[in-house]
């Protein structure tokens, strides 16, 4: 049997279904996705206040995950209670007993390198490391992308403009995103931190998001 293609990379632990109807599940996931992005925007606004300096905490991850899985999973807003596998990937996430510790280490890395690392590096690190830990039964990718975007905006010091956001671009075409994650995973297995492919991918998507601002600015309104 051939190995799954990179675009098939996904995971979901076995658990009791809260929503059995696929159509209803899709509607709820779409609605929760909008709510999760709204929560990211709200957090950006809150932490850009000089009186509320930002420090990434596990509670931020759990908050965004809770919104993404609200009504769809009994584990919404909670770390997974057991092991998990990622279909289409050679990487094996850590055991459930290590998830809280590894999540704390992720937050420590972001906070300790906040002033010295580039915004794209920190965004890429959060995106990769959360997927590497895979701390949830489901919704790992959605939450990782939300946290990564939150960090990018806060490290830059403003909410990024543009009508085609980086999370939307990833959702539109996940193949290069999955390829970049696999590249970072492979380096990690060799005891190296190499996020170059993921950083390049984020930089390209950032450029596309900002290009959309330029297009909006130069396009003339249609006459009635």
In a domain, 1, yes or no: no
CB atoms within 10 A of CB 215: 11
pLDDT digits (tens, 9 = 90+) for 148-180: 999 999 999 999 999 899 999 999 999 999 999
Q: Pick from 47, 67, 34: which is nearest to 151 by CA?
A: 47
C-alpha–C-alpha distance, residues 192 and 187, integer Å: 5
CATH code, domain with 38: 1.10.3290.10
**Helix 99-112, helix 119-133: angle, nearest 10:** 180
In a domain, 165, yes or no: yes
The model scores a pTM over 0.95: no
In a domain, 156, yes or no: yes
pLDDT digits (tens, 9 = 90+) for 70-121: 988 899 999 999 999 988 888 999 999 999 999 999 999 999 999 999 999 9
In a domain, 66, yes or no: yes
Domain count, the chain: 1
**Phi, then psi, of 159 in degrees rounded to 5:** -75, 125
In a domain, 89, yes or no: no
C-alpha–C-alpha distance, residues 74 and 18, integer Å: 7
Place of tokens 């992308």: 145
In a domain, 14, yes or no: no
Question: How many residues can be counted in the chain?
Answer: 224
C-alpha–C-alpha distance, residues 131 and 141, integer Å: 6
- For 198, the domain range is 19-78+96-218
């Amino acid at each position: 049997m051939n190995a799954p293609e990179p675009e098939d990379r996904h995971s979901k632990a076995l658990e009791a279904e809260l929503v059995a109807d696929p159509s209803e599940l899709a509607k709820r996931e779409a609605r929760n996705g909008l709510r999760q992005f709204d929560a990211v925007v709200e957090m950006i606004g809150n932490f850009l206040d000089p009186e509320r300096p930002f420090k990434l905490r596990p509670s931020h991850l759990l908050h965004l995950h809770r919104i993404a899985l609200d009504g769809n999973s009994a584990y919404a807003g909670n770390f997974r209670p057991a092991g998990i596998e990622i279909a289409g990937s050679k990487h094996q996430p850590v055991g459930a007993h290590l998830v809280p510790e590894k999540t704390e280490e992720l937050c420590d890395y972001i906070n300790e390198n906040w002033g010295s690392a580039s915004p794209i590096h920190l965004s890429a690190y959060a995106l990769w490391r959360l997927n590497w830990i895979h701390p949830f039964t489901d919704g790992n990718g959605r939450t990782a992308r939300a946290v990564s975007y939150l960090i990018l905006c806060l490290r830059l010091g403003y909410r990024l403009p543009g009508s085609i956001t980086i999370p939307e671009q990833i959702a539109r075409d996940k193949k290069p995103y999955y390829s970049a994650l696999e590249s970072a995973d492979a380096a990690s297995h060799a005891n190296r931190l190499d996020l170059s492919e993921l950083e390049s991918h984020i930089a390209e998507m950032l450029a596309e998001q900002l290009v959309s601002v330029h297009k909006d600015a130069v396009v003339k309104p249609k006459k009635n």
